[in-house]
């Protein structure tokens, strides 16, 4: 028989089975239930009333979390000329063009996010099979294909997250670290949900936000009452 550790049992004891908590209560529980020696990441899972198989019900976007993600984001920018200089001055970790493309083809992947100017997308497309499966391909819909490279770099460094509804109709996204505390996590979750609500497809009928839960890396999931979210947002 599988034995559960004392930490897991103590965390589970904080959550009442079947109960949906307010956003404030949920963030407080997640923070208090975390008991590992490292700073756990807190993730949100939002189940939407959409069918991603239909193009007009695809929910995809990005949001700059007010309190960031609590981690260093390594940003790579594909640009030329003045835009290359602009990206470096804005804080990009690496800027280049064909030379960087060859490094990536050779297996180099020491970056977390990628931005490209529109005139570079023809070249970047050649490594789409490498970047795409890792969720790193620049996309104009989330602001990573742009000539406004300075602003794009600053947003990613500040904690901009991209999200996309999965086949099962669920959006998964990190919303910060346990060390942020309940209030900052609440602000980040609210910002994410506000953006997702604004992106509700016109063709989506019935209940849009079906369920929400948040959890830390090694913690338990805490369900949030969608009605409380509507009031908060």
- Separation between Cα atoms, residue 192 and residue 196, nearest integer Å: 6
What's the pTM? 0.81
pLDDT at 1 over 50: no
- Separation between Cα atoms, residue 91 and residue 86, nearest integer Å: 9
- Do 113 and 156 form a contact (C-beta atoms < 8 A)? yes
19-69+160-232 with 75-158: one CATH topology?
A: no
67 DSSP 8-state letter = T
Residue 154: per-residue pLDDT? 94
- What 3-state class would DSSP assign to 176? strand
Domain positions in the chain are 19-69+160-232, 75-158
Query: Could you say which of 3.40.630.30, 3.30.190.20, 3.40.190.10, 3.40.1210.10 is the CATH number of the domain covering 19-69+160-232?
Result: 3.30.190.20
pLDDT digits (tens, 9 = 90+) for 39-86: 999 999 999 999 999 999 999 999 999 999 988 899 999 999 999 999
Radius of gyration of the chain (CA): 20
For domain 75-158, the CATH architecture is 3-Layer(aba) Sandwich (3.40)
H or E element, residue 162: strand 160-164
pLDDT digits (tens, 9 = 90+) for 77-123: 999 999 999 999 999 999 988 889 999 999 999 999 999 999 999 99
């Amino acid at each position: 028989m599988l034995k559960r550790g004392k930490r897991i049992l103590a965390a589970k004891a904080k959550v009442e089975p079947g109960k949906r908590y307010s956003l404030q209560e949920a963030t407080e529980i997640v923070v208090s239930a975390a008991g590992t020696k490292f700073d756990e990441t807190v993730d949100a899972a939002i189940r939407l009333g959409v069918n991603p198989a239909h193009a007009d019900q695809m929910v995809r976007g990005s949001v700059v979390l007010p309190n960031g993600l609590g981690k260093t984001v390594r940003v790579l920018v594909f640009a030329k000329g003045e835009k290359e200089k602009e990206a470096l001055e804005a804080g990009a970790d690496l800027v280049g063009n064909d030379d960087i493309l060859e490094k990536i083809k050779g297996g180099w992947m020491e970056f977390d996010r990628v931005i490209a100017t529109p005139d570079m997308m023809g070249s970047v497309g050649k490594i789409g099979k490498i970047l795409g499966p890792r969720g790193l391909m620049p996309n104009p819909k989330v602001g990573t294909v742009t000539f406004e490279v300075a602003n794009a770099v600053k947003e990613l460094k500040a904690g901009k997250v991209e999200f996309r509804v999965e086949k099962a109709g669920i959006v998964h996204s990190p919303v910060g670290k346990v060390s942020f505390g309940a209030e900052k996590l609440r602000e980040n979750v609210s910002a994410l949900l506000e953006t997702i609500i604004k992106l509700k497809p016109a063709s989506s009928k019935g209940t849009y936000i079906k369920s929400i839960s948040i959890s830390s890396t090694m913690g338990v999931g805490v369900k949030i009452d969608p009605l409380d979210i509507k009031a908060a947002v």
